[in-house]
Amino acid sequence: MLKIATRNREQATIVAISGDVDLYSSPQVRKAIIGLTEKKTPLIMVDLAEVDYMDSSGIATLVEGLQQVGKYKGELKLFGLTAAVREVFELSRLDKVFQIFEDEEAAAGSFAQG
Amino acid sequence: MTQSTNNKNAHGRLLETVEFRLSSDPKLLKIVRASVAHLCELLGFTPEQRNQTTLAVDEACANIIKYAYDGKTDQPIEITARLHEDRLEVILRDYGKKVDHALLKSRDLDDVRPGGLGVHLIQSTMDSVSYDPAITEGNQLTLAKYRRVNAQDRNA
């Protein structure tokens, strides 16, 4: 079962996803992320460390989130990608479109520097 | 699920055939992935090859659900996995709307937008992807992934 937990870290909101993100579960991820973009949350960090599998519907959901934050000049960053999930981003050639960080500290640090 | 064993003496001897029949419900995709991953492991695929094959079959099932069956969750999907000595061949059969495969071409990856990625992922992960044009009802897609050659893997 997919689990999604949201918490705040300074000015950022962290969305921690756990489980497989596929055609069945990606609507839950979309609900969480689009819910934040509708509130114009300025900084969103998506924790993918506990995601072992993501398909194109999951990728599409994150692309939609990225597009939405762009509309209000917010930021959406990803961190903790497992090897399997990173490969899907690379195959999609979206690894260069997203800001991807090794871990939460690196992602949070990038906001501080920005 | 049914299983049979054949010894067809073609290029890359056929070792096993495993057949699944499931309804077009996205909640069952995890079962398909687990099964395909296991078959890949039986063939000695590397983790990377296993992940790629699992992704491709999952994306193909998702496309059947979305496009051939318009999201209906009670329609049949038949999956036949043929384990050859040198490759895994997966045949996906549906009885839904005929899909115009010219429209399912791989998307322009410079066009960053939600959706349209599934076909690209299938084509970029599998060694061969083909639709059977002779099928009159529904669609039949055949995917194949070759095992990375390692002489010590088998007959050791």
pLDDT, one tens digit per residue, over A42-100 is 999 999 999 999 999 999 999 999 999 999 999 999 999 999 999 999 999 888 899 99
Do B144 and B87 form a contact (C-beta atoms < 8 A)? yes
What is the interface size between A and B, counted as CB pairs within 8 Å? 61
Whether the CB of A68 is below 8 Å from some CB of chain B: the reply is no
The ipTM value here is 0.91
Taking an 8 Å cut-off on Cβ atoms, the answer to whether A24 and B29 are in contact is: yes
Contact (Cβ atoms closer than 8 angstroms) between residue A16 and residue A50: yes
Q: What is the pLDDT of residues B73-109, one digit of tens each?
A: 999 999 999 999 999 999 999 999 998 766 555 555 5
Residues with pLDDT less than 70, chain B: 1-11, 101-116, 149-156
Distance of CA A38 to the CA centre of its chain: 15
Contact between A56 and B117 using a beta-carbon 8 Å cutoff: yes
The reported pLDDT for the residue numbered B108 is: 57
CA B104 to chain centre: 16
- Tokens standing for residue B95: 């009885």
- What pLDDT is recorded for position A109? 86
Give the model's pLDDT for residue B7: 42
Q: Could you tell me the end-to-end alpha-carbon distance of chain A, in angstroms, rounded to an integer? A: 35
Rounded Cα–Cα distance for residues B78 and A94 (Å) = 32
Burial of A62 (0-12, 13-18, 19+ CB in 10 A): buried
HEC per residue, chain B: CEEECCCCCCCCCEEEEEEEEEECCHHHHHHHHHHHHHHHHHCCCCHHHHHHHHHHHHHHHHHHHHHHCCCCCCCEEEEEEEEECCEEEEEEEECCCCCCCCCCCCCCCCCCCCCCCHHHHHHHHCCEEEECCCCCCCEEEEEEEECCCCCCCCCC
Q: Classify strands A99-101 and A75-79 as parallel, antiparallel or unpaired.
A: parallel
Chain A residues near residue B113 by CB distance under 8 angstroms:
63, 67
Fill in the amino acid letter for B76.
Answer: P
Contact A88/B at CB under 8 A: yes
* Alpha carbons A24 and B27: distance in angstroms, whole number: 5
Is A97 near chain B, with CB under 8 Å?
Answer: yes
Q: What is the mean pLDDT of residues A9-31?
A: 96
Best probe of the A interface among B52, B54, B55, by most A CBs < 10 A, is B55
Distance (Å) from the alpha carbon of A6 to chain B's nearest alpha carbon: 23
Of B58, B115, B121, the CB nearest to A91: B121
C-alpha span between B63 and B69 (Å, rounded): 9
